[in-house]
Structures are given as C-alpha cells and as structure tokens.
Structure 1
Amino acid sequence: MSTIEDEGDDAGPTDHGLTPGRAATINDIARIAGVSKKTVSRVINQSPFVKADTREKVEAVIAELGFSPDPQARGLAFRRSFLIGMIYDNPSPNYVVNMQQGILDAVRGSGLELVVHPCDRTSDDFMANVRGFAVRQKLFGAVLPPSVSEDERVTGMLTEVGCPYVRIASVSLDAPERMVVTNDSRGAAEAARHLVGLGHKRIAMITGPDLFRSTHERGEGFRSGLAEAGITLEDAMVVRGAYTFDSGVAAARELLSRKTRPTAIFAGNDEMAIGVYQAARDAGLDVPFDLSIVGFDDAPMSSRIWPTLTTVKLPIRDMGRMAAEKLLARSRGLDPAKLEQPEVIPTLIARDSSAPPRR
C-alpha cells in the first residue's frame, strides 16, 4: 500500500511558539510538525495512507500540545460527523448500558464519539424520527440493536441517506459485514436442557414482546430443548411479558396461581427473571427448592442477587464492540466483508436459582 510523502521532516514538537493560554489548532499542529494541514487531518482520522514516521511525528505534537479535534468542526470539513449513532428501542436498561460500553470500547482513541437515540417502533412518527436523527447528525454510521435491527424500513432508509449500519440480531438478516448474529435459540435450548437435567417436568416460560425477533427465537429454542427429552411446553404454561421487571412479576404471579403450578420458570431475559423472584417470595415459595428460575442475558444484577441467578450468558458488551469495529473498518481502508466474522454463542451459567424439584 502506497503512503503519502510529506513536505517537511525537520520540525519537531519543541519551540512551538504558541501564545500562553491559547488552544492549539490544526494549523498549529501542521506548522510545528512540518507537514500539511491535510496530513494532520489524515493522522487524526487514522488514514492508512500516511507513513509511519510522519504519523509518529504528528501524534507527538498532538500529545505535547494536548490537541483535541472538535467533532462538529471535523464534520463540517468532511461533510459528515464523527458520530456513531446507537438507535434502539429496548426496555431493558441493563442491555442498553452494556451495549453502549461495548461501542465505546471500540471507538476509544479513534476520534469518533457515540450518540444514543432511543425511539419507539410502535409510534406513528417512528420512521420520521429516526430519519431526522440520521440526517441531522450526518452519522458516520449506526449500530442497530434489537428490535430496531429487525426493521427493514430502517435499514432501507439508512441506505437511502448514505449512512452505513451494522445490525445485531438473533439470526442473520443481512450481509455478513453488516451483521452480528447472536444465535439466541441455541442459548434457550441450553436453558431447557439444564432444567430437564435437574429433573423438572412442569416447566413454564415467560416470553418477551412479540415485536422482538429474539422473543420468537428464544421461545422456539426453549421448546426444541424440551422436545429432545420428550417434554411439550403446554400453552397454559406460557405467558407473555415485556422484557421488564414488572411484567416478570405479573407473568409469574399468573403462572404460580395455576392449580398445578410449575416447578421451574424460564424467563426470556434477566429483568423478567428477577421479577419472578418477587412473585415467588410473595407466594411464600423458596427459590430454588420450590421454584427454579432461569433467565437470559447474564446482566450484572444476575450475579448480585440472592440466590444468584442461573442464566444464559449473551456477551452484550462484546456484541456492541463487534458492531462498532465493523463500522470502523471502513474508515481504516479495510473491507468489512474480508474481516474475520466472530460468532456469538450464548452459554448457560448455572448458579443458585436452579436445583432439582422437591420430591
């Protein structure tokens, strides 16, 4: 790969001659480093078309002067912003925060910033809202977690306005370079096998919102895991939740009021699973000996409550990082389609909330 020759090689990061108290500009960096303003811009934006020694010289000046480029000014200069948007409609705060942390892990040191945009897919102005955000911010790219990632209207609109995106979803919905696939059904099947292995037969499930593809994938995976042992999940043992704590409480109360109550409940995410704890306590049941509980996601709270929650670990933070790295690959002159495609495999984390049923 060819690199760009630069027009100066003697200037260094000493004797900068700046007025005390005045913040350095990109012109100062160029003058002191003995290169062009365009070369400084290339270094800031991590262009691969700069010689290593030139890059080191410019970065030394930037570090000495404490220079920090203004994302808005850079956006005006390049007719786009240096912002990655995370566009989400997810009721689980733990999921959202972990996803943000993963994206930040990827963009740290890149000159890019993260801006989050919550939305409501059920609202009449959903598409206008998301389009306005993408156009107004001139996004460098967008990370789309579920369930926004599953909406073809969104990806079509982003393509139309020239905004690259990466989807995170339980199944593949797009080209590999635009996908992080989480294989939710495999994790739910593991949850079923775990409960069956403990000796449970009266098993119930609390599902997520119908709008989420993960709801269906986790439900189908759980049923498949039970079927391997010849167990059919009865319709009366399935209650819909909303991926929230309160919906988990309400759904569990409904299940535990059945004439023949379940000995185990699988909840579609950890928020709802923790709600099941509340309903079990209200009913005077001991977890796990009267009622085993299994969640999904492995949110931080799952290892901090008592008894600790058995759950399916989905590496949410890593998923956010993977998605952002695919966006960053383009800015570094790499072809995302040729990058190694890491596979996300959910794994069961057995803790104290599951045990064999009482005899």
Structure 2
Amino acid sequence: MKKSAQPTINDVARLAGVSKKTVSRVINHSPLLNDDTRKRVLGVIDDLGYIPNPQARALALRRNFLIGLVHDNPTAQTVLSVQQGILETLRETEFELVIHPVNRGSPTMLDDIRRFLERQRLFGVMLMPPISENDELAALCDEIGCHYVRMGSAELDASEHMVASNDREAVRAATQYLIETGHRRIGLVLGPHGFRSARERRQGFEDAIAAAGIALPASLTADGNYTFESGLAAGDRLLDHLPRPTAIFASNDEMAAGVIHAARQRGLEVPRDLSVIGFDDNPIAAHIWPPLTTVRWPIAAMARSAALKLVGDATGQGNAAAEPAIFLSSLIRRASVAPPPKVD
C-alpha cells in the first residue's frame, strides 16, 4: 500500500481558506492576525497532523531555532541550574539549546564568540557571569544582530537584556543575621577576583559589619575561587587566626562546605564552635552535616525568565517585555548557625 504523503503548508492553507503567508504567520506567532483566523488555521494544523519544517522556517527567518548559552564558570552546579531553567522554558517548543564554553582569559575570546554566533545563526544568546559583565561582548551581539540576555549579580543593562539578583542586599542580611545571633569576630571567604558576584557579596558583608560598628582585621578575609578546595584552604587560614573567628561567611556553598571540613579537621563542631553561612542554596547545602544556612540564589528562575525574554514572543508563551529583570535572594536558615561559644 502506498504510504500517504505528509501534509504540507499548501494543504493547510487550502483547507483553512487562507494564504500560505497567513499559515506562516500563525506558525510564527505573529500578532498580525485576528483570533478567528488563528483558531481556524490551528484547527486545520491539528486535524492534518501538519508539522512545520524547521529548516524552511529557519531559512525564512534567517535564524536557526537555537538558543546559545555562553559561559566561563568554574562551578558545574551553577551551569546545570541555568541549563535546567532554560530547558524548562524551551520544552515543547521548536527551540534547542547550544552550550558554548569559553575562556575569559583568552585574548581571542571576543573573536571566538563572534565566530560561534555567526556560524550558528542563533535566535538569541544567554550570557552567564562573569563574561556577561563584559560590555564589549554585549556590543558585539548588537553589532551582528543577535538578541542577548545577560545574567548578573547587579544591574548590567536595560531590562530586556538582563536578569540580575540582589547579591549585595542578600549578603548584608545574612551577615546581619550572624551579628544578631551574637557574633562579632566574623571571617569572610571571598569569591574569585574579577567576578562581579564576588565584589557585590563582599560589599554586602562589609556594609553589615560597618553598620554594626564592628572593626575586623584584614586577616579575617581569605581569598577563594568558588571551589571546595579553595574553601578548605581559606577555612584553614581563617581558623589559624587568634582569636579565632566564631563565624564565617563563605561567598558560595562549595567554599562553605570546605570551611566546615577545615573546622572538623581541627576537632571543631559546627555550629557549637563555629557558625557558617554560604551562598547559592545548591543541593550540597542541604546534604552536608549540619545542613547549611545559606542565601538562596534564584538562578534557575533567572534562567527561565532570561529564556522567555529571548523566545517568549516567538513561542506565544507570554510577553517577553513583561518578564522581571531583578530577582530577590533569600536567607535559608538551617542548622549551621548558633550563638558564639561562651568565653570562660
């Protein structure tokens, strides 16, 4: 038996009593249609089981149905959380995600990204921190006509090109919680140099310390790079200080876990002898012992909104311009904070 041919856009147009251009506008979610026409065409598409040809659509729109994610991030969990948020938005659409890691220290980074964007003919691109903080990269996207959204820890761009969290305010509140609990000798594990998130989180910590009238020596600040190993090393440096800090704020959860490990190696108990707070609320925060008090960074929600800013209008998922630009982090109180030990 001869297999029946797949329905075409011509079949849809003929049965719906409209032009091919009108069918194309329905498929591409054009606002230039009345609801009756849109419903009639969609009904025919459903009845026929017509599936639009993505290659043909890409040729007509001069863009592929691809969303790029460009990052240079040392923490795998952050990248996974961003991917999760994007894919939730792209699910059941024609769009696919293409991931492109780069080296922000390379002198050819901008040229490499230009080649990637031009070769893939992306519908849009999401830029993760810290490279999202590069204004030259944003200008490059504008130059080649690639819609972009930048993710960050502070406002970086106009609302349609940005999703950001309030890291400075969130860390100020977390540090204030330690102060209210009775701590005065509080150590800080910094994030990597050159990251806006590290700068914002340090500033939030220093804001809270200054507001409480606490003077801390520079030796209660230790460098880190958002990894467990750097948190372990930083924890050792801070716990070598005399008098020892009674609490430590680490600029992400991986480093906070390293601090807890450093404390245990010295026979210290968290939170009896040392309170610890992290930032992110990654799965590690709830899985370590004791469960970690941390700042919940709404990274997946930010990624979902960023993806909607890129494809929302094209997929009919909502008004991309109405998507929020600022997302608020919140303190999650668990078992790693207690009043400081009493001094005999």
TM-score, with structure 2 as normaliser: 0.90
Change (3 A) 1:239 1:82: same
1:142 is the counterpart of 2:138? no
Find out whether 1:107 has 2:90 as its counterpart. Answer: yes
| Cα separation, 2, equivalents of 1:36 and 1:236 | 73
Match of 1:50 in 2: 33
- State the alpha-carbon separation in 1 of the partners of residues 44 and 37 from structure 2: 11
The one-letter amino acid paired with 2:152 is A
Q: Give per-residue Cα distances to partners, 1:288-344, cap 9 Å, x unaligned.
A: 111111011111221222211101111111111121222235547999896364531
Return the alpha-carbon distance in structure 1 between the equivalents of residues 323 and 94 of structure 2: 24
Cα separation, 1, equivalents of 2:53 and 2:260: 48
Q: Judging changes above 3 Å, is the alpha-carbon distance between structure 1 residues 184 and 32 closer, same or farther for their aligned structure 2 residues?
A: same
Q: Percent identity?
A: 49
Q: 1:43 to 1:234 in 2, by over 3 A?
A: farther
Q: Which runs of 5+ in 2 are unaligned?
A: none
Q: Is the 8 A contact 1:48 1:333 kept in 2?
A: no
Equivalent residue number for residue 232 of structure 2: 249
Using the TM superposition, give the Cα deviation of residue 150 of structure 1 relative to its aligned residue in structure 2, in angstroms. Answer: 0.2
Is 1:79 the counterpart of 2:62? The answer is yes
Deviation of 1:148 (Å): 1.4
Tell me which of 131, 134, 157 is aligned to 2:114: 131
Instruction: Work out whether residues 162 and 325 of structure 2, in 8 Å CA contact, stay in contact via their aligned partners in 1.
Output: no
CA distance in 1 between partners of 2:317 and 2:270 (Å): 51
Matches within 5 A, 1:338-349: 339=322, 341=324, 343-349=326-332
Specify which of 238, 245, 249 is matched with residue 262 of structure 1: 245
- Contact in 2 for aligned 1:45/1:111 (Cα 8 Å): no
In structure 1, the gaps of 5 or more residues are 1-17
SS in 2 for 1:85: strand
Deviates more, 1:123-132 or 1:48-57: 48-57
1:313 aligns with 2:296: yes
Q: How many residues align?
A: 342
Give matches, 1:146-295, under 5 Å. Answer: 146-295=129-278
Match of 1:354 among 325, 337, 343: 337
- What is the letter of the counterpart of residue 222 of structure 1? F
Match of 1:14 in 2: none
Picking from 81, 100, 115, the partner of 1:117 is 100
In the superposition, relative to structure 1, how do residues 358 and 69 fare at CA in structure 2: closer, same or farther (>3 Å)? farther
Paired AA for residue 27 in structure 2: I
Give the one of 283, 299, 319 matched to 2:282: 299
Indicate the residue corresponding to 2:71 in structure 1: 88
